[in-house]
Amino acid sequence: MDAMTTRRPPVDHIVRTRDLYSSLGHDPYRWVRNDGSPPWTELRKPLRECRVGLVGSGGVYRAGQVAFHHRDDISLRVIDTSVPVSELRTSHFAYDQTDARIDPNVVFPVDTLHTLVAEGVIGELSPRAYAFMGGIYSARRVRDVLAPEISRRLAEDQVDLALLVPV
């Protein structure tokens, strides 16, 4: 078996985006930079008793739902987690969706979470998961509109823990 080569450092997506925008003649994108300690909430029960909520930004929708548009769409899709993954689709303006369309679990791990419930690693998967299309240009709209909406729904679903899967 061939040996692994030396590992290169992770791709710096901030630099990559800056270079891309600059090559297109756009102003540099200003990423959110949060200083100071992030908020913190302790888990209130053992993982094996937790109801887990899933939120993914890979642009997943279910066949029958309206797909995302690619002009700053900040809408949400509520996905029933009993859905067969064969009914999940993706629509996203920015990443290569080839593998996500072959196996949606790579960006929206519903089968994976069902496996972890069956193994007793987590208590249950919330019946509702939430999907949107990441890469939203306006941090303000995410902070003021999308984030509170997702947070409110997760609280309503009484999840003990949220697993967030960005793309």
Partner 1 sequence: MGLIARRVEADGIPTTSLTSALSITRSVDPPRAVFLDYPLGHTAGKAKDPEQQREVVAAALAAVDELEQPGAVKMLPYRWSRDDDWKRETMLGGDARSHRSSSPEYQCEADRALAVAAGDCPTCVFL
Q: Which of residues 67-126 bind partner 1 (CB under 8 A)?
A: 67-72, 74-80, 89-91, 93-103, 105-109, 111-113, 115-116, 121-122
Least CB distance to partner 1 at residue 157 (A): 10
Binding mask 147-166 for partner 1 (x = CB under 8 A): xxxxx--xx---xxxxxxxx
Least CB distance to partner 1 at residue 89 (A): 4
Closer CB to partner 1, 7 or 27, in the complex: 7
Three-class secondary structure of residue 51 per DSSP: strand
- C-alpha dist (Å) from residue 136 to 15, 28, 55: 18, 15, 15
Report how far residue 33's alpha carbon sits from residue 13's, in angstroms, rounded to the nearest whole number.
14
Give the count of beta carbons closer than 10 Å to the beta carbon of residue 32.
Answer: 8
Report how far residue 137's alpha carbon sits from residue 146's, in angstroms, rounded to the nearest whole number.
13
Least CB distance to partner 1 at residue 166 (A): 4
Asked whether the beta carbons of 51 and 123 are under 8 A apart, the reply is yes
Report how far residue 144's alpha carbon sits from residue 142's, in angstroms, rounded to the nearest whole number.
6
Binding mask 31-70 for partner 1 (x = CB under 8 A): xxxx--xxxxxxx---x----xx-x-xx--xxxxxxxxxx
Least CB distance to partner 1 at residue 63 (A): 5
Give the count of beta carbons closer than 10 Å to the beta carbon of residue 112.
Answer: 14
Q: Which of residues 121-140 bind partner 1 (CB under 8 A)?
A: 121-122, 134, 139
Size, binding site for partner 1 by CB under 8 A? 103
Least CB distance to partner 1 at residue 139 (A): 6
Asked whether the beta carbons of 84 and 124 are under 8 A apart, the reply is no
Closer CB to partner 1, 28 or 103, in the complex: 103
